[in-house]
């Protein structure tokens, strides 16, 4: 019995150690951000840095000497906000109506196909979107633009397309979660389908829809590569729909490769500013989803009533007057919309948006495949050809191998640590105790850090560890930090979904905690964990910003081991499309990239479904 007790203790210690690694990762990132940005903030002045509108760094600037460059990021803050707003306008509106279409107007068979396509599109790498922007959107826009088409409009369109899947799938889920009884109640009183949809169903799903938009905003804020490829990147204000401008993420990725001392500090500080925006968005998201939960618990959806209960009396009276007026305004608007038959308009919009989204998505993938597949067919040596120095015959075999290395290494690091942390949090730690809350908050914050900030961290913290030049190991370490929150969260979610009755059943038979976890809880949670692993794989393959300066950006020879560097597939696509004279190769690379990601997604779904079925006992695969 003592042997089993020792085993229990060792198990717990190992899980706790994993959780501590997570905390160390978070602390390291924050320490890095603070230590690196504080001198810059001190030297440049917080105010001048945030609100100065000239960015002209001098890489020779040091902290000891007077500055010769100017460091102000106001143009980029404005640029980031403008790009995000544009993306929300396009992707948000289109996504909202597409979700309405899918949830309420779409024939079932089309819905299944379209939903699957949209969720697959969520996995398409951002460089592919950026590439599509370069080869399709910019030439198209240049016909009406004074420049080559780059600028705010192109950025907003590309970012909009990128947040579309997020908005559509989350809104759709919350719309479908509205009880069927609401619909029946409304229709039973003689309301039309559309009136029911827009007056009953959508208002009931409002908080979920808002949350999906907020998440979309978060994604748009942190996006780097796609924006870099179509925004132009001159450090100026976005001037109208066209014209070069720069966002915060782009600022980091444009200059971190060759930054001097103060410049580097200023870039980290840019990351801090970016992170502040993202955290703000997450805070709003937390508030929104918190309200959803509270509303669900108290069965009260009207926040006005709750607010009017608290507060001092004059304040309350003011509020009641205001809300009365708001109500009247609302009634007026509703009467107007009834007279204008806005519901019909909404119905039309929904159908149009569904069709448009489908068409746009087909266009992105179709265009790239149409251009890339024939080339790939005629030049298969692109994929498996041997690298020759100085040759014009490009081969992406090294990039593929590098990508595989990165996938393997980062999963080997992130998955065990993440899964064990989740086990510690969910199975061992006392819920709601202070350390647990700290770990959870840390992981939430880690999830919000934009990928380019990880890249910056990896470049400054990991690259010097392994000989000072980029290496697969440094890149994988960087990305595995980025994967941690995803792995921890989704593992925890699937652990939480395992019924406590199973744990009790095992414990009541005299099994210890460790055995209960390993034999009963983990197998039940396996489908969820597996799909998290697959998604993480997809993410490693798609990411480019964190790899650019940690793993390398040169398409060269095959790597011999994890200490060699080189471009991953996504980075290779970025390089090829930027240089301009390997466009065919770029198309083909994009095809390979999309094919891998899509295959992975399908595989993940298939695996999860199969495991799920086996767990439910519908097939008898065992024995």
Interface pick for other proteins out of 141, 399, 520, 576 (rule CB under 8 A): 520
Interface pick for other proteins out of 416, 523, 562, 578 (rule CB under 8 A): 523
Beta carbon nearer to other proteins, 496 or 614: 614
Beta carbon nearer to other proteins, 511 or 557: 511
Whole-number Å distance between alpha carbons of 165 and 92:
10
Interface pick for other proteins out of 257, 321, 330, 505 (rule CB under 8 A): 505
Radius of gyration of the chain (CA): 26
Phi and psi at residue 385, to the nearest 5°: -60, 160
Beta carbon nearer to other proteins, 485 or 527: 527
- Alpha carbon 283 to its chain's center: 16
Interface pick for other proteins out of 244, 494, 506, 544 (rule CB under 8 A): 506
Whole-number Å distance between alpha carbons of 178 and 180:
6
7 binds other proteins (CB under 8 A): no
Please compute, for residue 301, the number of CA atoms within 13 A of its CA located in the half-sphere on the CB side: 7
What number of chain residues touch other proteins (CB under 8 A)? 30
| Residue 113 DSSP class | H
Contacting range for other proteins; rule: CB under 8 A; set: 11-19, 342-350, 520-528, 539-547: 520-528
> From the CB of 269, what's the least distance to other proteins, in Å?
44
Please compute, for residue 403, the number of CA atoms within 13 A of its CA located in the half-sphere on the CB side: 25
- Alpha carbon 175 to its chain's center: 22
> From the CB of 121, what's the least distance to other proteins, in Å?
33
Please, are residues 71 and 52 in contact by the beta-carbon 8 Å criterion?
Answer: yes
Whole-number Å distance between alpha carbons of 162 and 184:
35
320 binds other proteins (CB under 8 A): no
| Residue 229 in tokens | 């490829």
Beta carbon nearer to other proteins, 3 or 181: 3
| Residue 256 DSSP class | T
Beta carbon nearer to other proteins, 147 or 499: 499
Site for other proteins in 485-504 (CB under 8 A): 499, 501-502, 504
Please, are residues 453 and 545 in contact by the beta-carbon 8 Å criterion?
Answer: no
> From the CB of 616, what's the least distance to other proteins, in Å?
6
Whole-number Å distance between alpha carbons of 566 and 475:
10
617 binds other proteins (CB under 8 A): yes
> From the CB of 428, what's the least distance to other proteins, in Å?
12
> From the CB of 509, what's the least distance to other proteins, in Å?
4
Phi and psi at residue 174, to the nearest 5°: -75, -30
Interface pick for other proteins out of 438, 509, 599, 602 (rule CB under 8 A): 509
Q: Give the SS3 label for residue 70.
A: strand
Beta carbon nearer to other proteins, 391 or 499: 499
614 binds other proteins (CB under 8 A): yes
Contacting range for other proteins; rule: CB under 8 A; set: 35-43, 305-313, 389-397, 608-616: 608-616
> From the CB of 618, what's the least distance to other proteins, in Å?
7
> From the CB of 502, what's the least distance to other proteins, in Å?
6
| Residue 374 in tokens | 């024939």
The 3-state secondary structure of 247-297, one letter per residue: CHHHHHHHHCCCCCHHHHHHHHHHHHHHHHHHHHHHHHHHHHHHHHHHHHH
The 3-state secondary structure of 41-68, one letter per residue: HHHHCHHHHHHCCCEECCCCCCCCCCCC
511 binds other proteins (CB under 8 A): yes
Whole-number Å distance between alpha carbons of 98 and 359:
12
> From the CB of 421, what's the least distance to other proteins, in Å?
21
Contacting range for other proteins; rule: CB under 8 A; set: 106-114, 145-153, 412-420, 511-519: 511-519
Beta carbon nearer to other proteins, 514 or 594: 514
Whole-number Å distance between alpha carbons of 485 and 445:
9
Beta carbon nearer to other proteins, 180 or 616: 616
The 3-state secondary structure of 477-509, one letter per residue: HHHHHHHHHHHHHHHHHHHHCCCHHHHHHHHHC
| Residue 454 in tokens | 């990880």
Whole-number Å distance between alpha carbons of 380 and 387:
14
> From the CB of 614, what's the least distance to other proteins, in Å?
7
339 binds other proteins (CB under 8 A): no
Please, are residues 445 and 29 in contact by the beta-carbon 8 Å criterion?
Answer: no
299 binds other proteins (CB under 8 A): no
290 binds other proteins (CB under 8 A): no
> From the CB of 607, what's the least distance to other proteins, in Å?
16
> From the CB of 431, what's the least distance to other proteins, in Å?
7
Beta carbon nearer to other proteins, 64 or 618: 618
Beta carbon nearer to other proteins, 241 or 526: 526
> From the CB of 493, what's the least distance to other proteins, in Å?
17
> From the CB of 497, what's the least distance to other proteins, in Å?
12
519 binds other proteins (CB under 8 A): yes
Whole-number Å distance between alpha carbons of 548 and 544:
6
| Residue 427 DSSP class | I
Beta carbon nearer to other proteins, 1 or 189: 1
| Residue 399 in tokens | 């990039």
Please, are residues 426 and 528 in contact by the beta-carbon 8 Å criterion?
Answer: no
524 binds other proteins (CB under 8 A): yes
Contacting range for other proteins; rule: CB under 8 A; set: 240-248, 341-349, 565-573, 609-617: 609-617
Q: Which residues contact 70 (CB under 8 A, 6 or more apart)?
A: 52, 54, 55, 56, 57
37 binds other proteins (CB under 8 A): no
Which residue do the tokens 């119905």 mark? 347
Longest dimension (CA), the chain: 80
Please, are residues 577 and 130 in contact by the beta-carbon 8 Å criterion?
Answer: yes
623 binds other proteins (CB under 8 A): yes
Whole-number Å distance between alpha carbons of 584 and 372:
7
| Residue 200 in tokens | 């009953």
Contacting range for other proteins; rule: CB under 8 A; set: 144-152, 196-204, 242-250, 610-618: 610-618
* Per-residue binder mask for other proteins (CB under 8 A), 401-440, x = binder: -----------------------------xx---------
Interface pick for other proteins out of 66, 508, 560, 581 (rule CB under 8 A): 508
Phi and psi at residue 102, to the nearest 5°: -65, -40
618 binds other proteins (CB under 8 A): yes
Query: Could you list the residues that contact other proteins (CB under 8 A)?
Result: 1, 4-5, 430-431, 499, 501-502, 504-512, 515, 519-520, 523-524, 614-618, 620, 622-623
């Amino acid at each position: 019995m003592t042997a089993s007790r020792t085993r229990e203790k060792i198990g717990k210690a190992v899980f706790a150690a994993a959780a501590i690694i997570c905390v160390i990762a978070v602390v390291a990132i924050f320490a890095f951000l603070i230590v690196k940005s504080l001198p810059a903030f001190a030297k440049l002045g917080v105010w001048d840095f945030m609100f100065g509108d000239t960015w002209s760094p001098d890489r020779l600037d040091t902290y000891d000497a007077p500055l010769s460059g100017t460091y102000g990021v106001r143009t980029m803050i404005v640029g980031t906000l403008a790009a995000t707003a544009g993306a929300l306008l396009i992707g948000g509106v289109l996504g909202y109506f597409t979700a309405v279409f899918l949830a309420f107007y779409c024939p079932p068979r089309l819905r299944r196909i379209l939903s699957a396509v949209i969720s697959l599109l969520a996995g398409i790498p951002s460089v592919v979107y950026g590439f599509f922007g370069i080869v399709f959107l910019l030439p198209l826009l240049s016909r009406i633009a004074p420049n080559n088409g780059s600028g705010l409009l192109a950025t907003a369109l590309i970012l909009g397309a990128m947040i579309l899947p997020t908005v559509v799938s989350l809104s759709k889920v919350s719309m479908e979660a509205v009880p069927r009884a609401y619909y029946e109640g409304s229709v039973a009183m003689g309301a039309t389908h559309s009136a029911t949809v827009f007056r009953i169903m959508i208002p009931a799903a409002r908080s979920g829809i808002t949350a999906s938009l907020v998440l979309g905003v978060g994604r748009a804020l942190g996006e780097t590569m796609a924006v870099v490829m179509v925004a132009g990147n001159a450090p100026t204000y976005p001037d109208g729909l066209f014209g070069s401008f720069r966002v915060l993420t782009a600022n980091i990725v444009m200059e971190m490769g060759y930054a001097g001392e103060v410049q580097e500090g200023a870039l980290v500080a840019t990351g801090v500013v970016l992170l502040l925006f993202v955290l703000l968005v997450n805070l709003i998201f937390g508030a929104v989803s918190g309200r959803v939960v509270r509303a669900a618990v108290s069965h009260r959806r009207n926040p006005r009533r709750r607010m009017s209960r608290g507060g001092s009396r004059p304040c309350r009276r003011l509020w009641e007057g205001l809300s009365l007026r708001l109500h009247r305004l609302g009634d007026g608007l509703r009467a107007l919309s009834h007279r204008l038959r806005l519901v019909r308009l909404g119905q039309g919009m929904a159908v149009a948006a569904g069709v448009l989204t489908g068409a746009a998505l087909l266009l992105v993938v179709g265009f790239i495949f149409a251009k890339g597949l024939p080339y790939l067919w005629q030049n298969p040596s692109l994929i498996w050809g041997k690298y020759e120095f100085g040759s014009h015959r490009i081969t992406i075999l090294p990039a593929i191998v590098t990508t595989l290395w990165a996938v393997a290494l980062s999963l080997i690091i992130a998955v065990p640590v993440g899964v064990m942390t989740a086990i510690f949090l969910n199975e061992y730690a006392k819920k709601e105790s202070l350390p647990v809350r700290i770990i959870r908050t840390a992981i939430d914050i880690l999830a919000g850090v934009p990928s380019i900030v990880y890249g910056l961290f990896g470049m400054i913290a990991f690259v010097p560890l392994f000989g000072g030049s980029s290496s697969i190991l440094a890149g994988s370490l960087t990305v595995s930090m980025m994967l941690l929150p995803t792995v921890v969260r989704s593992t925890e979610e699937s652990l939480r979904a395992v019924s406590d009755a199973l744990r009790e059943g095992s414990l009541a038979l005299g099994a210890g905690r460790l055995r209960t976890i390993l034999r009963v809880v983990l197998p039940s949670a396996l489908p969820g964990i597996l799909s998290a692993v697959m998604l993480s794989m997809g993410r490693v393959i798609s990411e480019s910003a964190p790899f650019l300066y940690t793993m390398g950006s040169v398409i060269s020879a095959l790597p011999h081991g994890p200490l060699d560097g080189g471009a991953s597939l996504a980075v290779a696509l970025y390089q090829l499309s930027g240089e301009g004279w390997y466009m065919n190769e770029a198309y083909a690379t994009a095809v390979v990239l999309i094919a891998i990601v899509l295959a992975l997604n399908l595989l993940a779904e298939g695996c999860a479904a199969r495991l799920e079925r086996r767990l439910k006992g519908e097939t008898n695969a065992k024995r």
